[in-house]
Structure 1
Amino acid sequence: MEDCIFCKIIRNEIPSTTVYEDDYVKAFLDISQVTPGHTLMVPKVHVADIFEYDEKLAAEIFARIPIIAKAIKASDPKIAGMNIINNNGALAYQSVFHSHIHFIPRYTKDDDFAIRFGDHTDQYTPAQLQTIADNIKANLEV
C-alpha cells in the first residue's frame, strides 16, 4: 500500500468519518463537505485513477456506487439529486492521486456546486463524429 492520504485513511492512521467499509472499499465524509453528506469512496487497493483498474476491481468498486448513493439519499429527505463524480488526472481536477468517487448530494440550485457542459453541437459534422467514434472503437479492449 502506498503512503498517500487515502491509504493512510484506509489504514486508520488519519481519522475519518466512515459511512461504509468492506473488503474492497472505504467510504467516508469528505472533509470539505461541498454539500452536507458529501462522501468519498476509495478502493482499498492503491490505484491512481480509472486507467489502473482491471475488470475485477472495476466490478467490485462500481457495484458499491448504488449502495452508497441510496444510503446518502435516504439519510435526508431534502436531498433532491446527487452528482457522482470520478476525476482522472490533474487536468480533470483530480487532486489526490488515489482513485476516488465523489457523492455530492444536491439540495438546491444555489448550493455552491456547479458543473458546466459546453455545447459544441454545431462544431462537428457527422463524419467528424464517426471518425472520433472509430478511433475509440479501435482502442477497445474487450
Structure 2
Amino acid sequence: MASQVLAENGLAIAIRDKYPVRPLHSLILTKRHVADVFAASAEEREAMHSLADSLTAAIKREDPTVSGFNFGSNIGAVAGQKIFHAHLHLIPRRPHEAPPPAAKP
C-alpha cells in the first residue's frame, strides 16, 4: 500500500486519506477485498471499529483542537462511493469548521 500505515490488526488497516476533506482525515479498510462494509464479515467490521477507537485517540493526541469526528461509509455509486473496497472514513472535526463537502455524484 502506497500510504503510510497508521495502525493495523489481523483484519483491517488504517491509512491517511489521499484526498482529505480535513487534516488527519483517515481511512480504515478491510484487508480482504470486499466491495463495501456490508459485504464485510462481522469480525472485519469489529476489527475496523477497533482501529477507529485507537485512531481517534491518536488523532486527538496529535491535534488537541479536534473535538469530534464524522465516521462512516458511502455504499454504492449513487451514495458517492468511488473506491469499491470496504472502507470507513474517520474525519476529525474542529470548532468553527464548515461542514464537510457533500458527496459528488
Q: TM class, shorter-chain normalised?
A: 0.7 to 0.9
Choose 1 or 2 for highest CA Rg. 1
Corresponding residue of 2:27: 40
Question: SS of the residue aligned with 2:27?
Answer: strand
Deviations 1:69-99 (A, max 9, x none): 2221221011121111211111111100001
Corresponding residue of 1:107: 94
Question: SS of the residue aligned with 1:64?
Answer: helix
Tell me the amino acid that sits aligned with residue 45 of structure 2.
A
Corresponding pairs, count: 102
TM-score under structure 2 length normalisation: 0.83
Structure-2 separation of matches of 1:110 and 1:58: 29
Corresponding residue of 1:26: 13
Deviation of the 1:41 alpha carbon: 0.7
Please tell me whether residue 89 in structure 1 is matched to residue 76 in structure 2. yes
How large is the Cα RMSD of the aligned pairs?
1.8
Kindly indicate whether structure 1 or structure 2 has the higher relative contact order, using CA contacts under 8 Å at least 6 residues apart.
2
